[in-house]
Amino acid sequence: MKELIKKFEQYQTPFYWYDMELLGNTLRVIKEESSKYGFQVHYAVKANANLKILKKIKEHGFGSDCVSGNEILRSAEAGFASDKIVFAGVGKSDEEINIGLENDIFAFNAESIPELEVIDELAVLKDKAANVALRLNPNLAASTHEYISTGLNENKFGINLMDMDEVLKVLEGLKNIKLCGIHFHIGSQITDMDNFKSLCDKVNGIQDWFESKNIKLEHINVGGGFGIDYENPDKNPIPDFKAYFKVFADNLQLRPYQQLHFELGRSVVAQCGSLVAKVLYVKNGVEKKFAIVDAGITELIRPALYKARHEIHNICSEEVREKYDVVGPICESADFFRKNIMLPTTKRGDLLAIRSVGAYGQVMTSRYNLRRIVEAHYSDDV
């Protein structure tokens, strides 16, 4: 720990810290467990788009899952093969669709009839065929925060199943679209495996429907969403990928000619990242103290947006534990990381590590209050 503190003291706080060894170990487990069944994993770039992290993920042979033109360009820069890039999103702009076409990506996950028409129109102009998977909304509840649940009819995502007949009719006229598969994503931070089993059951029914129409789909993409243990980052640094992939192997009735794809984000990178902040002031409150740190919602918005609870460790103190609210400097009452958390006696200058923030941490930072853009440092930096 002393070594780490010495290393951290040379950096300007707050900063993101990535444990690259843990990332490597996580990637090895994902590779091992997914390869058992020949599953294809695409990393969801939206979780963390740092080039160094992307390059490491790419080295392990994964594809990428993008939700913007810039993510496609970033994936290409990191070396991801274009035929392993999938592109989802309810509102793809013409410019972004063109980026996908120019890069000959593996598949557009299309979310509506008007989007299919625009993809076709732009593909015609380029004299190209666009590979398209239909993103279907399975109308399935996922046990997670409402803001990160995506698979219900009330959500804006995907094509509703009742519109499928019409979609097929429209597709007949779209000659520059090649229907290659179907795609689903029911939500994020899902730890109850029954949710994924229900998804498999839904997909099985939908597969039968396509078969009854004599449509052969080569690819089934079940999205991402596998959750992590935010409460015990040290005890469970690597999610149970063995159990996760097994749910799909056991329950999804893949046809012999079909390939199963995943789009994993959080479960790949969340545990390898910490946000390191310095304590600026400790002030007395009623029956507790406030530890005011130099990071705020601008560096990590998850607690404010999703009521997310991240573990916090004071890496400079092992004294007796006291109750604190760990709060940021931003003029918003939502600017806190944890309330009523027990920490070792904390003083000005201590470094706090806010854990499990490798996913949806740094990528969601903002410059509100004209804050400085936060930097990243890596355990294998020399």
Contact call for residue 44 and ligand LLP (CB under 6 A)? yes
For tokens 């939908």, the residue is: 206
CA 350/CA 293 separation, integer angstroms? 9
Judged by beta carbon, residue 15 or residue 262, the one nearer ligand LLP is 262
Closest C-alpha among 312, 144, 310 to residue 227: 144
Tokens matching residue 364? 């969601």
Residue 84 touches ligand LLP, criterion: CB under 6 A: no
210 binds ligand LLP (CB under 6 A): no
Q: How far is the CB of 96 from ligand LLP (least distance, A)?
A: 15
Among residues 45, 47, 142, 199, the one that binds ligand LLP under rule CB under 6 A: 47
**CA nearest to 65, candidates 115, 107, 120:** 107
CB of 87 to ligand LLP, least distance (A): 10
What is the residue whose two structure tokens read 């903002």?
Answer: 366
Q: How far is the CB of 46 from ligand LLP (least distance, A)?
A: 6
Binding of ligand LLP by 263 (CB under 6 A): yes
Q: Is residue 103 near ligand LLP by the rule CB under 6 A? A: no
Residues facing 160 on adjacent strands = 137
Longest dimension (CA), the chain: 71
69 lies in the site for ligand LLP, by CB under 6 A = no
Q: For residue 366, what are its two tokens?
A: 């903002």
CB of 360 to ligand LLP, least distance (A): 3
Q: Does 297 bind ligand LLP (CB under 6 A)?
A: no
Residue 306 interacts with ligand LLP (CB under 6 A)? yes
Which span (49-57, 74-82, 257-265, 368-376) binds ligand LLP, by CB under 6 A?
Answer: 257-265
Rounded to a whole number of angstroms, the minimum distance from the CB of residue 147 to ligand LLP is: 7
* Residue closest to 52 by CA, chosen among 81, 28, 19, 83: 19
Cβ proximity to ligand LLP: between 188 and 207 the closer is 188
**Per the structure block, which two tokens stand in for 74?**
């970033």
Instruction: Report CA torsion sign: 223, 42, 168, 155.
Output: positive
189 scored as a contact of ligand LLP (CB under 6 A): yes
Q: What are phi and psi of 12, to 5 degrees?
A: -75, 130
Q: Is 266 in the site for ligand LLP (CB under 6 A)?
A: yes
Q: What angle do CA 266, 272, 278 make, to 5 degrees?
A: 115
Q: How many helices (H) and strands (E) does the chain have?
A: 11, 17
355 binds ligand LLP (CB under 6 A): no
Distance in Å, CB of 361 to ligand LLP, minimum? 8
Distance CA 330, CA 155 (A): 31
Give the residues lining the site for ligand LLP (CB under 6 A).
44, 47, 65, 88, 148, 185, 188-189, 223-226, 263-267, 302, 306, 359-360
